[in-house]
Amino acid sequence: MTSDNLKIVESNIQAACMRSGRKRDEVTLIAVSKTQPLDLINEVYSNGIRNFGENKVIELVNKADILPKDIKWHLIGHLQRNKVKNIIKRVELIHSVDSYRLAEQINTESEKADCNTDILIQVNVSGENTKFGISPDETEALARKIAELKRIHIKGLMTIAPFTLEPEENRIYFRKLKQLSVDIQGKNIDNIDMRELSMGMTGDYEIAIEEGATFVRVGTGIFGERSYE
């Protein structure tokens, strides 16, 4: 079941890359495993997937302790400052940095652990007030400030588009995020690299790829519906 879903997602990704003249290896599929049991995660792993996403620190850490060590874990959900120390050195990339205070905490804990941490800045492109993320207007200023923190490397931007049954409706938001990243990259600011764009979920990842996503975060499309117990 899960393996079949994964095959479908993979062929959709390939088709979206073809349509938009992109190479398949420009896009990394993150299997969003929040709430999912270990046996399903292992099944996805055994199909060759190595990037997994979680939105809660405790769940990420618990799973990382048990599952194979070559998994790259992505924190994609809101991060509280008091939880930062738990994930430093254990995550490949933090997708959800949207304030300087949070970045400072990541910097401090990275220094203590003697490592560097890669992050994306989460941008609220749609203006939905239920979502985390900084506004597009404030993104460059925040990036410039964070770029001065020595233990943090900014790798790009992330957004969560609104839930919709009509994925085409989200194309404008993906396009906006891409444009914002191009604008910021064009300023050649030290310690700011805008090559990564984390956008697109089960409902809209193909559109996101057409608009330049380098990471797509797919949960339900691979694992089926989540059960929150």
Contact residues: ligand PLP, CB under 6 A: 32, 34, 55, 76-77, 160, 201-203, 217-221
Tracing tokens 């896009």 back to the chain, one arrives at 27
Q: Whole-number minimum distance, CB 213 to ligand PLP, in Å?
A: 12
Q: Which is nearer to ligand PLP, 53 or 136 (CB)?
A: 53
Question: Per DSSP, what are the bridge partners of residue 153?
Answer: 118
Q: For the residues of 10-35, what is the DSSP string, one character each?
A: HHHHHHHHHHTT--GGG-EEEEE-TT
Tracing tokens 């914002």 back to the chain, one arrives at 180
Tracing tokens 């401090």 back to the chain, one arrives at 108
Contact 185, 204 (CB under 8 A): no
d(CA 148, CA 115): 16
Q: Which is nearer to ligand PLP, 50 or 131 (CB)?
A: 131
Residue nearest to ligand PLP (CB): 219
Q: Whole-number minimum distance, CB 214 to ligand PLP, in Å?
A: 14
Q: Which is nearer to ligand PLP, 117 or 159 (CB)?
A: 159
Q: Whole-number minimum distance, CB 9 to ligand PLP, in Å?
A: 10
Q: Whole-number minimum distance, CB 217 to ligand PLP, in Å?
A: 4
Asked whether the CA dihedral 53, 56, 61, 62 is positive or negative, the reply is negative
β-strands 152-158, 28-32 pairing: unpaired
Q: Which is nearer to ligand PLP, 130 or 188 (CB)?
A: 130
Contact 187, 147 (CB under 8 A): no
Q: Whole-number minimum distance, CB 51 to ligand PLP, in Å?
A: 12
Q: Which is nearer to ligand PLP, 27 or 149 (CB)?
A: 27
